């Protein structure tokens, strides 16, 4: 478990309260990251905070400013942010329970693991967890995280809880603004039937361990190639499917889906008799 939690406070359900800690449920430590290098000197570049009049300044001396009009700012220092304290700064107060399907998936954001803090209040935590599991509901509350109050959805997972930060309504764009321009057309029934059969052949259980970031892997391969002084192989993009070829592409996909997995060593194809090439 990480040494430092993302957030510490209390989880409250009516009169039942327990201290909890939140930990990030995801990590980006395995991602490839780069630094900016000056190719003339091979030195790593440092980003220095600079005042246009006085030159470089220490970041610790800076404050934040909110622009109220052109070139006019209201200034905030750390003490000002500390004065803005809500109940949700240190307490997750559960005020609603909903069905998971009631929350549009566009609103789900980042997951956090919720655990009793240092084992204290484990019994109260268990009461809240078991009550939620019994009712099969998602708890809704509020939480101040990184100087922003977020609505969160809590769900039972094993012995703990997972808190999902929820996007605000004004953060989610209206789908109609993008989908309204899609032309209205009735798909060919035969094509839909073939596509449906392809989907059936590819039916599987979701397994996240099978997903690999091929772009990230390609970057790592390029890094190794550059270290070894070798060239880099480029992967071409697939061609778009033309409307004229759509039915043929679907049929070929159906054939490929049916036999591609089982036949690891297919028998050699017989040479077809010569035919005239279609114009």
pLDDT tens per residue across span 217-231: 888 888 888 888 765
- The answer to whether residue 153 sits within a structural domain is yes
- Classify residue 166 by burial, with Cβ atoms within 10 Å: 0-12, 13-18, 19+: buried
Cβ neighbours of residue 68 under 8 Å, at least 6 residues apart?
A: 74
Angle, CA 6 vertex, CA 144 and CA 207 arms, to 5° = 110
Do 168 and 179 contact (CB within 8 A), yes or no? no
pLDDT of residue 11: 93
Residue 150 inside a domain? The answer is: yes
Residue 53 is predicted with a pLDDT of: 92
pLDDT of residue 262: 44
Domain count, the chain: 1
* Domain that residue 135 falls in: 7-27+84-171
Which pLDDT score, from 0 to 100, does residue 85 have? 75
Give the pLDDT confidence score for residue 142 in this predicted structure.
Answer: 92
Q: Is residue 53 part of a domain?
A: no
How confident is the prediction for the chain on average, in pLDDT? 83
Among the residue ranges 49-63, 149-163, 172-186, 235-249, the one predicted with the least confidence is: 235-249
Residue 44 within a domain: no
In-domain check, residue 14: yes
- What whole-number percentage of the chain has pLDDT above 70? 85
- Specify the pTM: 0.71
Distances (CA, A) of 144 to 7, 25, 49, 74, 100: 9, 18, 28, 22, 22
122 inside domain? yes
Q: How far apart are CA 279 and CA 267, in angstroms?
A: 31
Q: From CA 247, how far away is CA 187, in angstroms rounded?
A: 12
> Is residue 50, in this structure, part of any structural domain at all?
no
* Per-residue confidence band for 240, with pLDDT thresholds at 50, 70 and 90: low
Q: Does the residue 16 lie in any domain?
A: yes
Burial class (CB in 10 A: 0-12, 13-18, 19+), 157: middle
> To which residue do tokens 């596509």 refer?
195
Query: Which has more pLDDT, 198 or 260?
Result: 198
Per 3-state DSSP, the chain is made up of helix, strand and coil in percentages (nearest 5) of 30, 25, 40
The CATH number of residue 161's host domain is 2.40.290.10
Quote the pLDDT of residue 118.
73
The single residue listed with the structure tokens 């935590």 is: 125
Beta strand residue intervals within the chain, DSSP E: 7-13, 16-24, 37-38, 43-44, 50-51, 55-56, 64-69, 72-76, 91-93, 96-98, 108-116, 138-145, 148-157, 160-166
């Amino acid at each position: 478990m990480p040494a430092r939690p993302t957030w510490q406070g209390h989880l409250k359900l009516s009169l039942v309260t327990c201290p909890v800690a939140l930990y990030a449920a995801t990590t980006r430590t395995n991602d490839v990251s780069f630094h900016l290098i000056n190719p003339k000197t091979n030195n790593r570049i440092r980003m220095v905070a600079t005042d246009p009049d006085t030159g470089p300044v220490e970041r610790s001396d800076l404050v934040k400013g909110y622009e109220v009009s052109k070139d006019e700012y209201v200034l905030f220092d750390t003490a000002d942010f500390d004065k803005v304290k809500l109940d949700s700064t240190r307490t997750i107060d559960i005020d609603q329970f909903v069905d998971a399907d009631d929350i549009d998936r566009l609103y789900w954001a980042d997951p956090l693991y919720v655990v009793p803090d240092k084992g204290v209040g484990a019994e109260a935590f268990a009461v809240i967890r078991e009550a939620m599991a019994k009712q099969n509901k998602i708890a809704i509350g509020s939480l101040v995280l990184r100087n922003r109050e977020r609505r969160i959805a809590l769900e039972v997972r094993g012995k703990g809880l997972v808190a999902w930060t929820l996007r605000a309504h004004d953060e989610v764009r209206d789908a109609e603004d993008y989908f309204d321009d899609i032309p209205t057309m009735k798909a060919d029934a035969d094509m839909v039937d073939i596509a449906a059969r392809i989907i059936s052949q590819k039916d599987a259980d979701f397994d996240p361990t099978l997903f690999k970031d091929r772009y990230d892997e390609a970057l790592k391969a390029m890094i190794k190639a550059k270290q070894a002084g070798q060239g880099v192989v480029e992967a071409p993009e697939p061609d778009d499917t033309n409307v004229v070829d759509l039915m043929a592409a679907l049929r070929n996909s159906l054939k490929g889906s049916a036999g591609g997995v089982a036949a690891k060593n297919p028998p050699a194809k017989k040479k077809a008799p010569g035919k005239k090439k279609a114009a």
